Amino acid sequence: MTKVLIVAGERPQQKSVLVEALRRFRAQGASVGIVGDVDADALALEPGLAEVRTLAAEPADPRLRRALARITQPSRALWVRAWADPWTRRWVRTADVLVALDSTAVHAVWEMAQRQPRADACNGIGAAGRIVRARHEGTHRVARRASERLSARAGIVVRGARRAAVTGARESLEAAMAPAVLRSRVGGRLWRSAVAAPGLPERVRVALAYRVHLRSVQADAPRLAAATTAAATGRIGGRKSRADLLTREASAELDLGRVPVCLTEAVTAELALADEFLPRQQARAAKSLYKAMRLLFHRVPHFDQLSSPLAERPAEFLAPLRASATARAMATPRGRATPAAAPPADRPLRLLIMTNGNAHFLREIKERYAEAPGVELRYLHLADDPVAAPLTHNPAGIVEHLVAGRSEYGNRVEEWLRPHLDWADTLFVDWCVAAAGMTTLVDPGDTRVVMRLHSFEAFSFWPHLIDFSRVDDLVFVSDHLRDLTCEVVPALTGEQAPRLHVIPNAMDLRRYDRPKEPSARFTLGLIGTSAVAKDPRWAIEVLRRLRADDERYRLVLVGGGLDPKASESVRQYQAELTADLAELEPSGAVTRIGHTDDVPGVLSGIGVILSSSVRESFHCALVEGAASGAVPVARDWPFFAGREASARTLFPADWVVGTPAEAAERIRAATATEDVWRAEGAAAAGHATKTWDWSVVRHDFDELFLPGRQA
Amino acid sequence: MQSRLSPLAALTRAGRRRPRRGARPHVIYLAIGFPPAAKSSAYRMRETANQFAAAGWDVTVITIADESWEREYGLDHTLSEGVDPRIVIERLPLARTDLETDIRAFSEARSLHPQRWIEQQRRQELRIFPEPVFGGWRPELERAVLRVHQEHAADLLMTTCAPYVNLAATWRLWQEYRVPYVVDFRDGWSVDVIGGGAAFTKDSAAGRWEEKVLAEARAVWCVNEPIADFYRERYPALRDRVRVVRNGYDEDCVPATPHRPDPEAGLTFGYLGSINFAPALLDSVLTAWRMARREDPLLARSRFEVRGHIGAGALREANAHMELLRAAAGDGVEFGGPLAKAEVAAAYGRWDALVLMLVGGRFVTSGKVYEYAASGLPVVSAHEVDHDAATVLAGHPLWTGAVGLDPRRLADSFTAAARLAVEATDEQRAAAQAHARRFARGAQLAPAVAEATAMVTGAATGPGSDGTSSEGGQA
């Protein structure tokens, strides 16, 4: 019997091909083991086809973990992990054929082959198939001499010694990059010159520049990091090497929770590479474009800090994208073959509501049109659709399709979406994220396409992945979000742009009208604290100022907390917030209430509702608080402050403040007496209900979906 | 890039007579991919060599060792059966190292970073000759043509590209012995047949090589008019020497009897050819096939048989295309591996309609389009609308037309082809075959070979001048 050991360094890309090969092996009497980074459950092989051994990503043995930490090459790490595994060693000892399933696995098979001289060692399942067949048919020949076995054994010893020497040299190099050395003028100059030394092989220059750059960032020497990179890239001729270095540096800095020193340079280099590929290898160009966009719109600069370069200087920040031919190819409007048809006159409108995001903002809309006689409603959350759900996780697929004009991904979307488009008269996609991007890959026929953009999308790459020439109407929830998005996405102001609307969020505000206890007067509330953008520390600062004069004021934080695993910068914010809370919670000055479904109940104990965020599109929680009779105090959201439209134009002027001091001042005045507080609260509740209650806003939606008709 | 010998030495050598064997002129044919290599270009090479032999030439083919093709698409010995036995074949010990699958042959560095190792190889190859993968073959090829010429003086060097490194050996023989040469450029070099326009500039290393070698060529053959026009424009001095020699089809690939479909049992659509286009193209066709099957009961009970070579080296029959085909097995799609040349006619005979999947646009014609046209079967076109294959198929009565690669439109083409397969009359099938007759390979090559012969020997030694036919050689 032929024993075949297959080594996989990554998830098998061609699963059907692998299964087919395993079936052939079985038919030819071979027994098969598969080892590596494979998930036996995901592979779901039929019984008897192969034994699957998944290597632990984090081995239990501390010595092995330390050894792995020193290895930078994934292929080498795979070998070390595999050889430490007793199951694998047993299989290697008796294997007749060793197979590398992918390029990461080649080295492990190469090492195994040195230790098992009898076995064939081949690259690829196809080559393995030919060997297994030849063995089965008795036509296989092996011609390896004893001297080869000897030299293989000697080679193992020699390589071990060489590797130890290289490790020692690398550790010495690391010592010369200690923070103190890098912060010193001499050290900085030394490394800057070293990476720019003439005649240095490109691979060595790139590796050295990367290390110096990163160590400089960690040593809080960003200028040295930038100077080192500039010096090195000035000597690197290849666009790919340059882009790889800059992208790798930027990614490592993002992992550290920092906005990369050379973010613009990295994005520009990656886009230059994309443009080089564009004429002949569009899929490859798309890959580079997507890489650049992931850097440009990474959560660290836009979501996990209290400012965003996109909000501060959009034109400058997006300039590399605007200059890229590949990005322009992606943004080329494809239009639709036929215009959207008018709503049918002889039957109810078929309305399909679709989202792959938070469905919270759809509740009132769904309820209204589910019961409206003039509408036949279908609702689809893509997470519940087994075909569509995996498609929502592939923005790279959207980019490739837009750049190349065709793709396997686009074909899958077409197959899935077409029946829905054939049914619907109007398709409403909530959130301008994956579902929206997928929708515009397909010509919608005569179906009218309506989309809604809330807030965070404007700071992400998603709106750039939507072909707005295939969208008829785009709804924003506020003027300031519309203005910023139009500034960021040129397709929204072009000839083929959709009609733009501003319709507030659908909220049933009457359910918040409940009596408040007198004690609520000194209770500030902040509802929603799960993002850095909510900036709860601003609210704490307001509280500190109030309590400096009057210790009756307290703050209630409602909602789930931050997720420090999201990024290093979130972790840093969380650490500072935790220190604040450690100081204020024991005295009862701050109370945290986790997630609750009874927001009206919680609001009955809150007398002042805060919006401390750096950015919001609308801030429903503030409006709901106002509707409950709490005094609203909204920070002039810094992302939009000073623009034509902002928190100051969305809300009555007296609701909005610029600083914690102004906030404290307004709160003191509005809570000076119980009567004043109740009167302020009642006025705010009246304004909120008259302006934003669903009974008012629903007419805007009726007009949007059924212009000139009754729902 | 010049000969290492001085110009004077070259002239001296050029004047020196090499040994001759009899009165027949001798052509060295640099044809990497000559049978039994299972490559689509092998058909054209076989016919070219056979026609030279039939026209009274001694022919020495220089190619690479048979076992080297095992790393690529393998061997088809039925192709060799049609090679004129008078043709001498020199097989050089050259092989593509990038396609090596025996890991024991790898260095440790290659095992650690397979892709980086290949990139380094490419850079080294480019230093030898500006063609990745094959550039490193230059010294061996140069030595081979010189040796063959020294043993049996050549009157003509016929060189066919790709690989373009053949141009270096061609130039070396010209430099040292002034042996005239014809370049069968097929798809050209500096023309980007996929994207259109120029693939490289005239002042690049490749550009300088191309300009220099073509300038001295007696003739330059291209497979279609757009490519020929590209070269006429790029090198106006070559205008009169550039000619179109279309690939054409081999008559033995055409089924002998008219086809009879069995709609009750379902139809069989076929594809035959190398699967070397982007996976997205194959996916568009398979998506269209699924959509068409959902809508048309006849197609729902039909099959789609795909035959040909997929991938090379470690990815041979284990790449993204293969995954798509295996995953489509439940939709009546079947991959049956490559077909030997001798089995081609039988395959066309049992299929009801054909699917023509092609890359590129107006600069690409392909070889299979001629066979498809001559088969007398309905043809679904899966390629760009502006494609040279459309020029060949224009007027073909059983062609569903070029609709691009949108799956929705391709699905309609499948439906239309199914209808044609069931409804076509014998007359329509005969008319389809008659439409293609002008593209018979022998007829395409004969004038070009005769012209080359006349250019060199000054005699009008046309095909069959020694009383033998080129069709199938002497086999």
Looking at the structure, do residues A493 and A528 belong to the same domain, yes or no? no
pLDDT at A165 over 70: no
**Closest Cα in chain A to B282:** A408
- Mutation choice for A interface testing from B101, B113, B285 by most A CBs within 10 A: B101
CB contact under 8 A, B287 and A21: no
CA distance A91 to A96: 10
pLDDT tens for A208-266 read 899 888 888 888 888 889 999 999 999 888 889 999 999 999 999 999 889 999 999 99
Please compute the mean of the pLDDT values over residues A601-625 and round it to a whole number.
96
Q: Is residue A700 part of a domain?
A: no
For residue range A12-36, list pLDDT tens digits in order: 888 888 998 999 999 999 999 999 9
Q: How confident is the model at residue A615 (pLDDT cuts 50, 70, 90)?
A: very high
Whole-number average pLDDT of chain B = 90
Using the predicted structure, report yes or no on whether residue A152 has a pLDDT greater than 50: yes
For residue B285, which residues of chain A lie inside 8 Å, CB to CB? none
Q: Please tell me the least confidently modeled range out of A203-217, A256-270, A534-548, B105-119.
A: A203-217
Total structural domains in chain A? Answer: 4
The CATH number that applies at residue A20 is 3.40.50
Q: What is the distance between the alpha carbons of residues B303 and B355, in angstroms, rounded to a whole number?
A: 12
Going by the DSSP 8-state scheme, the letter that residue A12 receives in this structure is -
Give phi and psi for B28, each to the nearest 5.
-90, 125
pLDDT of residue B232: 97
Q: Is the pLDDT of residue B470 over 70?
A: no
For the ranges A60-69, A156-165, A664-673, B277-286, the lowest mean pLDDT is seen at A156-165
Judge whether residue A318 has pLDDT over 70: yes
How do the residues of chain B divide into helix, strand and coil, expressed in percent and rounded to 5?
A: 45, 15, 40
In Å, how far is B120's CA from the nearest CA of chain A?
Answer: 11
A103 chain-B contacts, CB cut-off 8 A? 114-115
Residue of chain A nearest B192, judged by CA positions: A280
**How distant is the Cα of A526 from the closest Cα of chain B, in angstroms?**
50
Per-residue model confidence as pLDDT tens digits over A88-107? 999 999 999 999 999 999 99
Q: Which residues of B touch A125 (CB under 8 A)?
A: 318
For A164-224, the three-class secondary structure string (H helix, E strand, C coil) is HHHHHHHHHHHHCCCHHHHHCHHHHHHHHHHHCCCCCCHHHHHHHHHHHHHHHHHCCCHHH
A549 with A668, same domain: the answer is yes
Per-residue pLDDT for B7 more than 50? no
pLDDT at A171 over 80: no
Assess B146–A contact: CB distance below 8 Å, yes or no.
Answer: no
- On whether any CB of chain A is under 8 Å from the CB of B404, the answer is no
Tokens encoding A533: 């953008």
* A319-340: b (≥16 Cβ within 10 Å) or e: ebbeebbbbebbbeeeebeeeb
| Multiple choice CATH, B251-437, 3.40.50.2000, 2.102.10.10, 3.30.830.10, 1.10.1060.10 | 3.40.50.2000
Per-residue confidence (pLDDT) for residue A59, from 0 to 100: 84
Tell whether A522 and A657 lie within a shared domain: yes
A703: pLDDT confidence band, cut at 50, 70 and 90?
A: very high
A269 with A365, same domain? no
Rounded (10°) angle between helices A185-195 and A202-218: 150
In a domain, A153, yes or no: no
Last residue of a domain, one of A144, A164, A191: A144
Span B401-413, mean pLDDT? 94
- Give the model's pLDDT for residue B466: 47
What is the pLDDT at residue A159?
74
Confidence of residue B457 (pLDDT cuts 50, 70, 90): confident
**Higher pLDDT pick, A192 / B379:** B379
Give pLDDT tens digits for A557-566: 999 889 998 8
pLDDT of residue B2: 35
Residue A391 to chain B, least CA–CA distance (Å): 16
- The verdict on a CB contact (< 8 Å) between B318 and A113 is no
Average pLDDT of the segment spanning B256-267 = 85
Lowest mean pLDDT among A71-75, A503-507, A617-621, B347-351: A71-75
Q: What is the per-residue pLDDT for B465? A: 46
**Two tokens at A654?**
């007296």
Q: Does B200 touch chain A (CB under 8 A)?
A: no
Write out the residue range of the structural domain in which residue A296 sits: 175-330
Q: Mapping DSSP to helix (H, G, I), strand (E, B) and coil, where does residue A289 land?
A: helix
Query: Per-residue pLDDT for B4 more than 60?
Result: no
Instruction: Kindly state the tokens that stand for A203.
Output: 């691979």
Q: Which residues of A fall within a CB distance of 8 Å from B294?
A: none
Cβ separation B407–A415 shorter than 8 A: yes
Within 8 A of B290 by CB-CB distance, chain A residues are 415
C-alpha span between A524 and A668 (Å, rounded): 12
Tally of CB atoms within 10 A around B298: 18
Q: Do B103 and A100 touch (CB under 8 A)?
A: yes
Cα atoms found within 13 Å of the Cα of residue A443, Cβ hemisphere only? 14
Q: Do B324 and A110 touch (CB under 8 A)?
A: no
Q: Are B381 and B403 in contact, with CB atoms under 8 Å apart?
A: yes
Residue B8, pLDDT above cutoff 70: no
Does the pLDDT value for residue B91 go beyond 50?
Answer: yes
B331 and A CB contact within 8 Å: no
Helix or strand (DSSP H, E) at B11: helix B7-15
Which pLDDT band, with edges at 50, 70 and 90, does A147 fall under?
A: low
Is A14 in Cβ contact with B323 (below 8 Å)? yes
In the predicted model, what is the mean pLDDT of residues B373-402?
A: 95
More reliable by pLDDT, A208 or B91: B91
Q: What confidence category does residue A150 fall into, taking pLDDT thresholds of 50, 70 and 90?
A: low
A–B interface: beta-carbon pairs under 8 A: 122
Residue A546 has pLDDT above 70, yes or no: yes
Query: Which pLDDT band holds residue B345 (cuts at 50, 70, 90)?
Result: very high
> Stretch B315-340: mean pLDDT, rounded?
91
* CATH code of the domain containing A390: 3.40.50.2000
- Please give the pLDDT value at position B11: 44
> Does A484 lie in the same domain as A521?
no
Same domain membership, residue A582 and residue A493: no
Across the interface, whether the CB atoms of A121 and B103 are under 8 A apart is answered yes
Interface of A with B (CB under 8 A): 13-17, 19-21, 73, 75-76, 98, 100, 103, 106-107, 109-111, 113, 120-127, 129, 144, 159, 279-280, 283, 404, 406-408, 411-412, 414-415, 418
Please give the structure tokens belonging to residue A497: 């742009």
Whole-number pLDDT of residue A144: 62
> Looking at the domain B7-248+441-457, which fold is it?
Rossmann fold (3.40.50)
CB contact under 8 A, A279 and B197: yes
Q: From the CA of B32, how many Å to the nearest CA of chain A?
A: 23
Q: What is the mean pLDDT of residues A83-87?
A: 94
- Two tokens, residue B148: 């063959």
Burial class of residue A32 in the structure, from the number of CB atoms within 10 Å of its CB (0-12 exposed, 13-18 middle, 19+ buried): buried
Query: In DSSP terms, which residues pair with A449 in a beta bridge?
Result: A427
* A522 shares a domain with A618: yes
Percent of chain A residues topping a pLDDT of 70: 96
- Mutate which of B103, B116, B201, B406 to test chain A, going by most A C-beta atoms within 10 A? B103
- pLDDT at residue A188 in the model: 79
The CA distance from B431 to B425, in Å, is: 10
* Amino acid sitting at position A483: D
pLDDT digits 0-9 by tens, A366-424: 999 999 999 999 999 999 999 999 999 999 999 999 999 989 999 999 999 999 999 99
pLDDT at B17: 54
In angstroms, the CA A56 to CA A37 distance is 8
User: Could you give the CA distance from residue A327 to residue A286 in angstroms, rounded to a whole number?
Assistant: 9
B-chain residues near A113 (CB < 8 A): 103-104
- Cβ–Cβ < 8 Å for A124, B318: yes
One domain for residues A619 and A528? yes
Cβ within 8 Å, pair B103-A109: yes
Judging by DSSP bridges, how do beta strands B58-64 and B26-30 pair with one another?
Answer: parallel
Q: Is residue A451 part of a domain?
A: yes
Using a CB–CB cutoff of 8 Å, tell me whether B322 touches chain A.
yes
Answer positive or negative: Cα dihedral of A596, A599, A603, A605: negative
pLDDT value of residue B72: 85
Give the pLDDT score at B16: 52
**Stretch B356-377: mean pLDDT, rounded?**
92
Cα separation, A664 vs A635, whole angstroms: 11
Take residue A692 and report the two structure tokens written for it: 């934003």
Q: What is the mean pLDDT of chain A?
A: 92
- Which one of A450, A476, A502 terminates a domain? A502
Q: Between A13, A16, A75, which is nearest B112 by CB?
A: A75
Residues of A with Cβ-Cβ distance to B280 under 8 angstroms? 283, 404, 406-408, 411
Question: Is the predicted pLDDT of residue B461 greater than 70, yes or no?
Answer: no
Q: Are residues A528 and A619 in the same domain?
A: yes
Q: How high is the pLDDT of residue B197?
A: 87
The string of pLDDT tens digits covering residues B436-448 is 999 999 999 999 9
Mean pLDDT over B461-475 rounds to 40
A407:B280 CB<8 A = yes
Q: Are A562 and A573 in contact (CB under 8 A)?
A: yes
Question: What pLDDT was estimated at residue B1?
Answer: 33
Nearest to A17 among B278, B291, B323 (CB): B323
Distance from CA of B395 to the nearest CA of A (A): 28
Do B258 and B197 form a contact (C-beta atoms < 8 A)? no
pLDDT at B472 over 60: no
User: Is the peptide bond between B36 and the residue preceding it cis, with omega within 30 degrees of 0?
Assistant: yes
Mean pLDDT of A541-554: 97
Token digits of residue B403 = 């609709």
To the nearest whole percent, how much of chain A has pLDDT over 90?
76
Q: Is the pLDDT of residue B255 over 90?
A: no
Q: Give which of B104, B334, B357, B410 to mutate to test A binding, by max A Cβ within 10 Å.
A: B104
For residue B319, the chain A residues in CB contact (below 8 A) are: 14, 17
Q: Boundaries of CATH 3.40.50.2000 in chain B?
A: 7-248+441-457, 251-437
Chain A contacts of B108, Cβ < 8 Å? Answer: 107, 110, 159
